[in-house]
Amino acid sequence: MPIHEKALIRPENLLTHDKLVVDGVDVSGHWSTFIAPRVVTDYNERLQDEIAALPGGEFVHRCWQCGSCTNVCTVNAVNPDFNPRFWIYLIRMGMESELLRDKDIIWQCVSCNKCTDACPRQVVPEGVMKATARWLELKGHTPKSSSTHFDEEFSEQVIATGKIEEGRIIRNFFARTGQPLRQEWLVEMAKRIARRLPVKLGMVMGFAALVRPRTRGWAKARRAIEGHVAREETRRRAALGLASAAAAAPPSNDSARTG
Amino acid sequence: MKRQAGDPGRRSGTDMTEGKTMTHSPPPDDKAKYQRVAYYPGCALEGTAHAYDASTRAVGKALGLELDEVPDWNCCGAMEVKNIDPKVQTYLSSRVLSIAANEMHAPVVMAPCNGCYHNLKKAEYDLGHDDASRETVGKISQQAGHAAYQAGQVETIHALDWLKHGVGEAELRTRVSKSLNGLKVANYYGCMYTRPRHIFPEKDCGPGSDSLYQPHFMDDLLAAAGAENVDFPLKTACCGGAHTLSDSDTSTKLVLNILRAAEAAGADVIATECPTCHAGLEMHQVRAEKVFGEKTTVKMLYFTQLLGVALGLSPRSVGVHENVSDGRAALAEKGIA
Ligand code: SF4
Ligand code: SF4
Ligand code: SF4
């Protein structure tokens, strides 16, 4: 089994000298490479607790750093910088600034749960990845990832009607993330079906969705779920020391959405 | 032992004994139980995966099995709602299970979508192991005006279990009128059919159960229909379906691995058993060609489409023409359709 290690020595801190004199002694040729000293002072002592307060992060404290999660990780195989074991280490050590160096890729976990099965300590690293991505957004370290936009669009539809409509999700997701819907490959895909099935073109691209699917008798469930979500959101923000969503939220991006 | 929601407990590594002794009933041999089941199609099968729905119903009908659709079902939350709130996701599945149990009085509910199947299983596990999940689901159910689902009321199965336990290979073999003889198939199960393992206590329980690491139910059924299953190492690899649109490059790379491996194994088609996997493979096959300039030619077909054709149904009636990757020529070449 390969071991995927992550060095704590940063490449930019490796100092190489052609000519070096230390305390009057010329050590050129014997010693030429040094590691610039680095002292971490900005520990966030609460980091592990904050992650544990978010869904999925509950068991982060169990990790004993075996590295199995990174070893089996689907995303690590395509991007070696994606390293769940390392991030869990940083979270447990409270090394927030170190964690922030990878802030833009943590959301890329694809929830394949290979790590969940491989972990000998039932940490559920998949959940920790989700909790960490959420923590980064709640704390304002990253903007909402495209994945969060997708989750929100999807969840809003489910909560509103009990069902989703795929075309509508694709359409609104592209609008939320400011991407053109007419991506060359999407158009090509639609064309391939359209050759045999004209109706499906509209269905996939979501242009022909005249009837929005909904679950009969959903209204009460909707209210109950909305109440629960609002309470949980307030609880989570409090655990992170943030003001309640209503007070702190930036203007919603509703206007950017098509219906 | 009390556990928090999502805690896999101690069923870990190679030690499967706890799961076996505590939660498992032996593999089913009573076919009758699966002849008529509650059917939860889910959102994808009502939309882009219409062909999976049509072929599932058609195969069931041809084999004399009955499906009662769960009335007024809702979305299971797929892979998205849990990231907003995991207990809401548990509630969504529990509502479907509650209707099956308390309104339909069905002992078994069948879901052909890996996402739905996975979520119902996960809700079953969490409601059986975690007080906080029970409490939240109980509260929302009460406010929504229906009985809260209690763990153990219903058995959740996948379409693969339904055909494997309700019909079985021996009988299937006698019903095949157009053998898939000569068709080389790579069976792709995706991630949600087997992971995380703690929510599938009935898997890896000896003869008659499916395997967590080398699932074979789809292989078994298609072999009975005459297909030649190739040795495919990526059966449970992930296609990146959770980020199929939000991180397309990663998904395309993951899908390309799967397509290349299937072609290297000599497969003519990849058999799928999940609408998200199927759509992911189809979409990113096109995207790999358009964006990465890498063309692959293996075709994707739902396993129910392949079984339907083997049972003598027309390719059209099982929606083969609806697929993005056009499998008609692959079938015609082998004289199957
Ligand atoms: S769930 Fe996420 S972290 Fe775990 S193996 Fe899959 S991609 Fe990696
Ligand atoms: S597999 Fe589990 S215990 Fe091992 S490093 Fe990953 S989270 Fe920690
Ligand atoms: S393989 Fe892809 S689509 Fe299939 S279950 Fe996994 S993530 Fe979902």
pLDDT tens sequence across B66-120: 999 999 999 999 989 999 999 999 999 999 999 999 999 999 999 999 999 999 9
CATH fit for domain B32-158, picks 1.20.1050.140, 3.20.20.210, 3.20.20.70, 1.10.3720.10? 1.20.1050.140
User: What global pTM score does this model have?
Assistant: 0.90
Asked if B324's CB is within 8 angstroms of A189's CB, the reply is yes
Which chain A residue lies closest to B198 (C-alpha atoms)? A117
Q: Say yes or no to pLDDT of B156 above 80.
A: yes
d(CA A22, CA A26): 6
- Adjacency order of strands within the sheet including B108-111: B66-69, B36-39, B108-111, B155-158
- Closest atom of ligand 1 to A129 CA is 3
Axis-axis angle for helices A146-161, A125-138 (nearest 10): 100
> Whose CA is closest to B150, among B111, B76, B97?
B97
What pLDDT is recorded for position B23?
Answer: 43
Measured distance CA(A206)–CA(A219) in Å, rounded: 25
pLDDT of residue A39: 80
Residue numbers in A near B238 (CB within 8 A): 74, 110, 112, 114
**Residue A214 touches partner B, C-beta closer than 8 Å:** no
pLDDT for B2:
55
What domains are defined for chain A?
6-35 (no CATH), 47-138 (1.10.1060.10), 146-258 (no CATH)
Q: How many CB atoms lie within 10 A of CB B131?
A: 12
Residues A240, A230: Cα–Cα separation, whole Å: 16
Report the interhelical angle of B217-224 vs B303-310 (nearest 10°): 20
Nearest-Cα distance to chain B for A34, in Å, is 37
With an 8 Å Cβ cutoff, is A218 touching chain B? yes
Flag if A185 and B282 touch (Cβ within 8 Å): no
10 Å CB burial of residue B298 (0-12, 13-18, 19+) is: buried
Any atom of ligand 2 within 6 Å of the Cβ of A239: no
Are the C-beta atoms of residues A186 and A205 closer than 8 Å to each other?
A: yes
- From ligand 3's centre to the CA of A213, what distance in Å? 24
pLDDT of residue B96: 98
Q: Which residues of chain A have pLDDT under 50?
A: 201, 205-208, 251-259
* Alpha carbon of A124 to ligand 1 centroid (Å): 9
Residue minimizing CA distance to atom 1 of ligand 2: A119
- Location of each CATH 3.40.50.11810 domain in chain B: 177-333
* Longest CA–CA separation in chain B, Å: 57
Q: Is the pLDDT of residue B4 over 80?
A: no
The DSSP element (H or E) to which A205 belongs, if any, is helix A198-205
Q: What is the mean pLDDT of residues B195-221?
A: 95
Radius of gyration over every alpha carbon of chain A, rounded to an integer in angstroms: 24
Nearest CA to ligand 3 atom 8: B241
Q: What is chain A's percent helix, strand, coil content, to nearest 5? A: 50, 5, 45
Q: Which residues belong to CATH 1.20.1050.140 in chain B?
A: 32-158
How many residues does this entry show for chain A?
A: 259
3-state secondary structure of A213: coil
- The average pLDDT across B146-161 equals 97
Q: How far apart are CA A109 and CA A73, in angstroms?
A: 9
B75/A162 touch (CB, cutoff 8 Å), yes or no: yes
**From A79, which residue of chain B is nearest by alpha-carbon distance?**
B250
Any atom of ligand 1 within 6 Å of the Cβ of A113: yes
Which two structure tokens, joined as six digits, stand for B45? 């099968």
What is the model's pLDDT at position A255?
A: 40
Under 8 Å between Cβ of B137 and B147: no
Q: Which ligand is nearest to the CA of B238?
A: 3
pLDDT of residue A15: 83
Residues in chain B within 8 Å Cβ distance of A216: 72
Q: How big is chain B, counted in residues?
A: 337
pLDDT at B16: 38
pLDDT at A186: 81
Percentage of the residues of chain A whose pLDDT score is greater than 70: 85
Residue A129 alpha carbon to ligand 1 centre in Å:
8
Q: Does A234 touch chain B (CB under 8 A)?
A: no
A179 touches chain B (CB under 8 A): no
* Lowest-pLDDT choice from A203-212, B120-129, B248-257: A203-212
Tell me A199's DSSP state.
Answer: H
Give the gap in angstroms from C-alpha A216 to the nearest C-alpha of chain B.
6
Of A110, A185, A227, the CB nearest to B238: A110
**A21-35, A155-169, B42-56, B296-310: least confident range:** A21-35
Minimal Cα–Cα distance from B295 to chain A, Å? 13
Given this structure, which CATH class describes domain B177-333? alpha beta
CA–CA separation, B337 and B328 (whole Å): 7
Given a cut of 50, whether residue B139 has pLDDT beyond it is yes
Share the mean pLDDT of chain B.
92
Disruptive mutation site among B45, B122, B243 for chain A (greatest number of A CBs within 10 Å): B243
- Write the single-letter amino acid at B4: Q
Closest-CA distance of chain A to residue B43, Å: 6
Q: What is the pLDDT of residue B244?
A: 87
